[in-house]
Amino acid sequence: MGFFNKIFSRPNRKPLVDKKILSNGARLNDAEVDILFIIKNGDVLYVNHEIENLFEVDRGGDRLFKGRVVNYKYLGETTKDEVQVFIGFDENDAYIMFTLQANLQDRFEFVGQSLMRFFSSNRINGVFSWEGYSVQYEYTYKLYNKNSTNFLINANQTFGYLISEDTFEQGEGDLLKEKFWHTKQTTHSEPEAQVYCYPKTNTEYSVSSSCIKSDNESANKIYEQGVEYLKIADFKMAFNNFKIASKYGHTSATFNLALMYKNGNGCDYSYEDSMQLFIKSQDEGHQGALRHIKELVKAKELSADLSNYPLVLNEASHLHDGTVLYFFYFFLINSLSEGDIVSWIRYELDCASIGNELAQQYVHEISPNSEFYRNGGEELTPNASLFSDIFDHVTIPLRKTEDFSDIIKLRCNLVKNLFNHIFNKHLD
């Protein structure tokens, strides 16, 4: 029997098994990745149940895959059969591939070859037919699991999948997201939550019916509209609604607005606006504001105490969300000369200019003049180089809880804030 006969089953052959192809997991040892799911023409052929150790419980109490998922989509040239093989990459592998964009295509192809070898050596039938296939790599997806249902959502939150043992659904991210998280809420029959923890940011927003309302009924309605936008991750619309409701005295809207400024959701990061609004909402009786005020104060105080670098950086590694950005913003201003800061800005812009689409978008927004950052990656000062290493070290914990696009966003916003600080100062 030839090599390809071992990989592909002929159409008139009955599959060896109907649903579960493998019972002991599907690890591609040579590629160090796992087959998570196999779908053929919309039918679920395989769900890997031997990957419990690859999940962790995030701060929102949800089971999150520690890494990222790529969908290998095979299309038959003759039958037009569509086979989707979802491959799980661990967090270190995913960071190197999708954040650093290192050897991306070569890695995809190597895993694809490993996948074919796996099918051949295990004599797995019923997946591929006897024909040629084209393949596309669809990436990256974040994976959540609850009640035997798996939810995959892409970085832009625009497209996703719901997969269980015998159901498969793909489509618009917002619709699947609402279905997945709604199921979670109704399964436990719990009362309406006091806060909404959006999985992409792990940030608690006030959304409950017992929120601190305004005497202005219109403000209450605008706030409620903002909550609905928040639940489908339309941060810009949520921001606009909360801003209007806050103006008319809605305390919970003010609190949510502060969180959005703190974490750059629907707006630019802003330490000053965030702190001011948290203080305002605390003065009006919001109990959740004090914790965030303390976090922001701590970030600024840590960055000012440079007497013990290792201790300071260890403390900083436990910060999360926007507080990491503010820590490094003040850290740079307090510890590096203006020349070193400019060197780091040029280095970051130069690297980002050849990065992914999101990074390039920020580069154009910050400095359309490419002459400013040209060769910035080759002219990094020693102090700026040291800081770059420190930044990478401290943000490692974020890779476990934040999407890679969020880390890029945080890094680019730090550059943007420093750029404005340096060059606006010279314009004053």
The total number of structural domains in the chain stands at 1
What would the two tokens of residue 264 be? 């750059």
Does residue 12 lie within any of the structural domains? Answer: yes
**Mean pLDDT computed over 227-235:** 84
Q: Which long-range contacts (CB under 8 A, 24 or more apart) does 7-10 make?
A: 7/116, 7/119, 7/120, 7/128, 8/128, 8/129, 8/130, 8/131, 9/125, 9/126, 9/127, 9/128, 9/129, 9/130, 10/129, 10/130
**Mean pLDDT computed over 341-361:** 81
Q: What's this model's pTM, rounded to 2 decimal places?
A: 0.50
Question: What's 90's DSSP letter?
Answer: E
Does residue 343 lie within any of the structural domains? Answer: no
Does residue 80 lie within any of the structural domains? Answer: yes
CA distances from 285 to 246, 271, 280 (A): 14, 21, 9
Residue span of the structural domain in which 139 resides: 3-171
Does residue 197 lie within any of the structural domains? Answer: no
Match 């928040």 to its residue by tokens: 230
Q: Mean pLDDT across the chain, nearest whole number? A: 78
Q: Is the peptide bond before 140 cis (omega within 30 degrees of 0)?
A: yes
* Sign, Cα dihedral of 200, 206, 208, 213: negative
What would the two tokens of residue 326 be? 């503010």
pLDDT of residue 204: 65
Match 């199921």 to its residue by tokens: 183
Q: What is the chain's Cα-based Rg?
A: 24
Nearest to 17 by CA among 27, 28, 9: 9
Residue 115 burial (CB count, 10 A): 21
243-287 per-position pLDDT tens digit:
999 998 899 999 999 999 988 888 888 889 999 999 999 999 988
> 337 in helix, strand or coil?
coil
Does residue 288 lie within any of the structural domains? Answer: no
Per the model's pLDDT, the better-predicted residue between 298 and 201 turns out to be 298
Q: How many CA atoms lie within 13 A of 336 on its CB side?
A: 25
DSSP 113-133: HHHHHHHHHTT--SSS-SS-E
**Mean pLDDT computed over 207-235:** 78
Does residue 103 lie within any of the structural domains? Answer: yes
Report the range out of 20-24, 79-83, 155-159, 325-329 with the highest average pLDDT: 79-83
Does residue 14 lie within any of the structural domains? Answer: yes
